């Protein structure tokens, strides 16, 4: 059986397909966004994790998908970048890992979302003024990345 995942902006709301953060200046942050996640399976989905990865298709940023991804991870070293909060666990993906996507995952504490249940993901994007030592100003431009939800489902 195929299980479908639905992302919505409100509890039990209509499905959305993407989120455009709009234009943010260095030193600013987006408004927090709450996304609600549910599935239509008869059994729980398990091994749930949420992570970032380079854009896989349709890239229109200023550099390259990999450069954008690596830059976002470097922002996380200073508690900036993409703030992920998944059912109360808060995390800035950062650059102290091997760079494999799941190693930057934030795991769902219970490990599963039951049939008919819903989970909330909280997202916020903070743009640093500078990064590194000595500080290097963050250049203007468009950054793109994919938010990915991974899970297992057994029918």
Domain count, the chain: 1
In-domain check, residue 103: yes
- The span from the first CA to the last CA of the chain, in angstroms, equals 6
Q: What is the mean pLDDT of residues 124-141?
A: 77
In-domain check, residue 41: yes
> Could you tell me the residue range of the domain that residue 64 belongs to?
5-16+26-153
In-domain check, residue 72: yes
In-domain check, residue 74: yes
Q: Between these two residues, 99 and 112, which has the higher pLDDT value?
A: 112
In-domain check, residue 21: no
Summarised one tens digit per residue, pLDDT across range 142-151 is 888 887 787 8
Q: Are 5 and 39 in contact (CB under 8 A)?
A: yes
Q: What is the pLDDT of residue 99?
A: 39
pLDDT cut 90: percent of the chain above it: 8
């Amino acid at each position: 059986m195929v299980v479908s995942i639905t992302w919505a902006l409100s509890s039990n709301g209509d499905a959305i397909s993407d989120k455009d953060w709009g234009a943010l200046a260095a030193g600013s942050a987006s408004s927090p966004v709450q996304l609600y996640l549910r599935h239509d399976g008869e059994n729980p989905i398990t091994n749930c994790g949420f992570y970032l990865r380079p854009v896989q298709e349709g890239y229109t940023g200023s550099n390259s998908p990999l450069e954008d991804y690596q830059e976002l991870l470097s922002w996380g070293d200073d508690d900036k970048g993409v703030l992920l909060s998944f059912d109360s666990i808060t995390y800035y993906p950062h650059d102290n890992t091997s760079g494999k996507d799941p190693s930057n995952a934030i795991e769902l504490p219970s490990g599963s979302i039951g049939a008919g249940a819903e989970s909330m993901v909280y997202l916020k994007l903070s743009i640093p003024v500078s990064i590194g030592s000595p500080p290097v100003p963050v250049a203007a431009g468009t950054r793109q990345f994919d938010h990915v939800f991974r899970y297992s489902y057994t029918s």
